[in-house]
Every structure is written in C-alpha cells, then in structure tokens.
Structure 1
Amino acid sequence: MPRVNLEGSSSIVTGGASGIGEAAARQLAAAGSKVVIADLNEEKGAKVAAEIGGVFVKCDVTKTEDADAAVEAAVAMGPLRACVNSAGLGAPGRTIDRDNNPHDLGRFAFVINVNLIGTFNVLSRAAAAMAKQEPMDADGSRGAIVNLASCAAFDGQIGQAAYSASKGGVVGMTLPIARDLSAVGIRVNTVAPGLIDTPIYGEGEHAEQFKAHLGQSVLFPKRLGQGEELAFAIMDCITNPYMNAEVIRLDGGIRMPPK
C-alpha cells in the first residue's frame, strides 16, 4: 500500500501563520496540497499562504462560521484530504495564587475554549466536508485529521492547570473521534510536542540563551525541537494509511518537572 498521495488535494492548517502550523503547511504544500492558512494573524498568514501557493482565511477557531469559511475555501481548491489543528495558546496561573485567591474562571475557560473546543469545532466541520467526498483508495479513505496536544497533557507543570486540561482533552478525544469517523474513512491522530522552538520565546540574545537553557532538560538531543521536526510527524500521520487513533509524544524524551 503506497503512502497517501496529496497531489491535487486541499488542506486546512489552523495556526498556520507561524511555528508548528507554518512548518506543517509548508510540508503539505510541498506534497502537492493546496493549503488554507486559518489564523488570526492576517499579515503573517497571508505571507505564508502566498509563499506556498495557498490561501489565507482569518479564523477564530471557536467560531463555527470561521471554521466553515476555512472549509469552504479548501473545498474550492480541491478535495479536502487533511486538517491540522495547530492553533492554541496558554494562560499560566496557579489554582490559587500566593495570596490564596482562586484562579480566574474566565481565564481558565478561555484556554479550554480555544485549545479544546476550538480544535473540535474545526475538525468536526472539516470531517463533515471530507465525508461527502469520494474515497481516494480501495480502503475507502477520505481524509486525515491531526490535532496538536502537548506533553503538558501528561506531565503539566505548576501553573499549567488550564493548558494541561485543554491538551489532556485533545488527547482524550482522539480515540472516540477516530472511532466516530471510521465509518466514513477518516483517520484521526494527535501529536504531543515537548519544548519546541517557536516565536513564543521571543527573539534576540536573551531569548537564545533562555532556549539553550531549556534545551538542557531534554533527554536527547539536548535542545528545543524544531517546527519542521513536528511537521515530519504530522505528515506521517496524514500520509501513512495505517496510522490511526494514535497519540505520539514528540519531545526528545523529556519528562517535565513540577516547575
């Protein structure tokens, strides 16, 4: 059985304007797919889309109308065969602060809404479109979805209750959604990154020193991971026709300490 051929297909990548999402979008485009960059950052998103021959759609992943717009843009370019949910954020805060005040519930809910509910929103709208398409092989395959979780889903640190809960939810829904979508030939997998070199760490000498320090806690190799390396795993989840219902930690072997 050959790898999934993405020539002439379309794909959606949320959070595709930078970091892991951008790396995945570039690899999807290199494989012959027309990519929708679904992101809130118009300047960066439009630039990436132009460079890879795709389109940019401004997208708040928590809004069904935005998700539908991204799906519509993808289907207009070709059969939708891949959806990568990379959009996400963090809002650190302890369950109670140093003065014993409780964590702000709205802040907690915001992280859950974007990282977990936003992921489900986009994947469900994409799956609905994929299910209406003709199968692309004798197995009846119609597409593949890859969600981004985090190693914080398994060993979240102090102050990561909201982020860990959101990413733990992404991990937890991988199998039931894969089971749901098996009836229409759509595979679902999750990649859980460790410490990855993305724009979140900033730029300049101080940022580079900080990243080098963080990298020493990785088992091997002792550095932060690269977005491209995460994209390799994402592409394997999409193009390996037997990869389904799996959660892959891609973290250089790190096990996060409490803080």
Structure 2
Amino acid sequence: MTIFTLMALTGCVYPIIFENKLTAMFFQAREPEQLYIFIIFIIGFAAVLTRIRGGLIILGITASMILYLVWGHYIPGLFGHVAFPNDFIATILYTDLDLGTFGFYNEVNCRLVSIFMVFAALLMASGLGDLFTAIATWLAGNTTGGPAKVAVFSSGMFGMLSGSPVANVAATGAFTIPLMKRIGYKPSMAASVEALASTGGNLMPPIMGIAAFLMAEILGIPYLRICLAALVPVFLWYFICFSSVHYYALREGIKKWRPSREEFMTVIKA
C-alpha cells in the first residue's frame, strides 16, 4: 500500500508544483510528455482504490469506459465515435476542470460533502445515534412486529446523521436483525427489512447522499431546497417500509415484542 500511496501523492502534487506549465499547456498544441507519467500514477491509484472500495464490477465498468474512449473509433456503426487524440484523452482524465480527476465532482466532494461528513461524525461520537435507536425502541418496540418497526424508525433517524446505507446497517442492524429473527421473522426477511430501511438514509435530510450535493451544485440552487424536495419521497419510502413490516407481521402471526428493561438499557448504553 505504501507504493500506491506514493503514486497518489505524486499524482496530486504534480498539478501544484507545475501549475504554470499546466496553465500554459491549454494554449499549446501539445501537452508535456511527463504529464502521461503522472496520469498513469493517479489512474493506477484510483483503480486500486476502486477495486478495494467498490469491487471488480465497478472497476470493470470504469475501465471499459476508458477503453471505449481510447479505442471506440474502431467500433463500426452506431456505437463508434471519432478518434480522439491522446492529448485530449489525457486532459479529460487528469487535468480537465469539469470531468477530470481534480474536476467538478471532486471539488464538490472536498468543498461540501466533507464538511457534512465531519459534522455527522461529531454527532455520532456524541452518542446521538444510540439515542435514536433507544427512541425508536420506545416508540415501536411494543407494537405488532416491533423489532422490524424499530429497524425502520432507527434507520430513518440514523440516516439523518450518516446518509450512508452501509453505515446505517452497521449501526442499527447489529441490534435489530437478531431481535427480528428471535420473534419470528425469517433471516432473509430480517436482513431485507434492515437493508431497505437503511437505504432510505440516502434520502433523509439533512445528511443525504453525494448525489444531493451534486444536484444542488449543478442546478445552482441552495442545498436546503434539495432537502425540502426530498421530504415527500422519503416520507413515502418509510411509510411503505413501515406498512410492509406491519402487515407482514399480521400475516405471519408475529407477536408483539415487549423489550425488557435490560434490553432497553442495552440499547441506550450500546
């Protein structure tokens, strides 16, 4: 990993050190030859990171897009395109301010998303996520299909802090999935309820998925308007989740769950 870290640092430092040369590059007919070396560094690092975080499928899709850009002019018919010069491809992948590695999307991530993620991390460190789970247990624990409704409530409230389905499942699923299985939910159903409820975290204001920040930036409207527009779909999402687990519990004859004091205190102290 040290090698890949050095590749990433080298690829990121180059635009800073050679800023003047890169600026002059846009007014010339060709690009500096050493630029291609740093393109290989940064793309190689991005490929490794994509493989680790996104898996082979995402890496394969990304690689196929790059290969299509390079050799797509050999494809006949409707799916072919004109041949792009290597200089143009290098600009698109590395230095372009709209589509490149350091372009618009990375700018939004650094300028907006990172701030909200730090804010969410501070709230989580304060124990607010555990409080949300305790509140959900108090509200829905003693109703029909209680643990499933706790999963829906807690995932919705936790989504306000994380905006990440994976973080949602990790935080609330460790408590709700075993409880759902214990009172009669099938393991597949318990996992499905938690996954579905946690996925709604991307829609739950104020900390939403990165797509919400991109929408605000591209459309040029305040992020608050995106949050307000999300209220209706997120309400419908969780209303359907709540209704589904309720009627599933009625159909399967799943009894109410009355959490003991020890279980409730375990949630609060988790």
TM-score bin (small chain): under 0.3
Higher helix share: 2
With structure 1 as the length reference, what TM-score do the two structures score? Answer: 0.23
Q: Which structure has the greater CA radius of gyration?
A: 2
- Determine which structure has greater relative contact order: mean sequence separation of CA pairs < 8 Å that are 6+ residues apart, divided by chain length: 1
